[in-house]
């Protein structure tokens, strides 16, 4: 079995995760932002019933009071699963990980929610690399016991808050020819600067993003501003057709890639528990190249003109054009076309 493998959603469905849970013999540690899929809940309960030590850490209720895991938490606790809310030291625990028998780790962009298994472009990497697996276990233990986790300067994984912004900035800086990125949000000033500079030194950059109306209203200004800055310097920005984009994937020069939970936003780097993995495996990178080509072919450019944004926000979303001081008249819009 290879040291690392790629799982692409929704193509591969929940089967790789269900198979891994079914194969667990000693232990199963799950850390999840949203865990609501019935099949996966039942699989975890079945593992517990056959004697596997199962521990589940779920993100607590959000500041708004919304709790995506309320029913799942009750179901798992009633089944006798060891369960804790995520570490309160972080605003949100957005990490999505699983470690099976302390030997195989899953680093994911997807939640264990049915929509992420059936409707969204998402990714997961499995790894049996000893140092990486041990890091994920160490972080789980620290968060479980409400202790500080320090991955150190030689960390194999990409962690937030810790080395996330630095590692991703370096990944962009090292790109020589091409960058392909899928992410929901482009809002962090440091990362935006690195992308602009990469474009200015001749790197061909293709980005995929979600449409502006999917942003929370308080994030529209920085979210749209970031997209327009990149559009102005010639970075191509598209949105997927037929699938929702939820995955966080970066691919550089057809040689290196990053997959994980990290949105390119300040909150993700500074206030959330996040996890991603960087890898160089030829077979996985080659497959990601094919997925990137397929998704780009099945996408279309985001219309970031005033008129396009006005239509997207006011007709497809919940408003917000006034926050960007947009007018929909053609004369003003024409002045802001890329």
Q: Average pLDDT over the chain, rounded to whole?
A: 93
Q: What is the pTM of this model?
A: 0.93
Longest dimension (CA), the chain: 69
Tell me the pLDDT band of 328, cut-offs 50, 70 and 90.
Answer: low
Q: Given this model, what pLDDT does residue 337 score?
A: 45
pLDDT tens-digit profile of 50-63? 999 999 999 987 76
pLDDT tens-digit profile of 282-306? 999 999 999 999 999 999 999 999 9
CA distance 289 to 88: 38
- As given in the structure block, the two tokens for residue 42 are 């039942």
Q: Given this model, what pLDDT does residue 338 score?
A: 43
Q: Given this model, what pLDDT does residue 1 score?
A: 53
Residue 336 predicted with pLDDT over 60: no
Tell me the pLDDT band of 65, cut-offs 50, 70 and 90.
Answer: low
């Amino acid at each position: 079995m290879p040291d690392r493998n790629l799982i692409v959603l929704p193509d591969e469905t929940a089967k790789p995760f269900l198979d891994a849970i079914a194969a667990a013999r000693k232990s199963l540690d799950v850390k999840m932002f949203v865990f609501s899929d019935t099949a996966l809940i039942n699989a975890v309960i079945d593992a517990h019933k056959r004697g596997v030590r199962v521990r589940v850490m779920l993100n607590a209720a959000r500041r708004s009071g919304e709790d995506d895991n309320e029913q799942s938490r009750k179901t798992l606790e009633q089944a006798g699963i060891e369960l804790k809310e995520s570490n309160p030291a972080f605003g949100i625990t957005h990490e999505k990980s699983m470690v099976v028998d302390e030997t195989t780790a899953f680093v994911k962009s997807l939640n264990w929610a049915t929509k992420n298994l059936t409707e969204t472009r998402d990714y997961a990497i499995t790894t049996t690399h000893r140092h990486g697996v041990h890091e994920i276990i160490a972080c789980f233990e620290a968060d479980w016991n409400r202790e500080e986790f320090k991955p150190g300067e030689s960390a194999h994984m990409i962690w937030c808050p810790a080395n996330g912004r630095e590692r991703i900035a370096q990944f962009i800086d090292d790109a020589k020819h091409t960058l392909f990125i899928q992410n929901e949000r482009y809002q962090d000033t440091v990362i935006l600067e690195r992308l602009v500079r990469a474009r200015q030194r001749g790197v061909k950059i293709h980005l995929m993003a979600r449409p502006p109306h999917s942003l929370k209203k308080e994030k529209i200004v920085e979210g749209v501003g970031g997209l327009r800055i990149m559009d102005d310097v010639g970075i191509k920005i598209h949105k997927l057709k037929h699938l929702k984009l939820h995955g966080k994937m970066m691919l550089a020069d057809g040689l290196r890639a990053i997959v994980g939970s990290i949105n390119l936003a300040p909150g993700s780097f500074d206030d959330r528990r996040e996890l991603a993995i960087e890898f160089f495996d030829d077979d996985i990178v080659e497959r990601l190249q094919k997925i990137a080509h397929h998704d780009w072919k099945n996408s279309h450019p985001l219309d970031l003109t005033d008129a396009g944004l006005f239509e997207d926000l006011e007709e497809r979303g919940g408003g917000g054009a006034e926050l960007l001081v947009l007018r929909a008249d053609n004369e003003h819009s024409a002045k802001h076309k890329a």
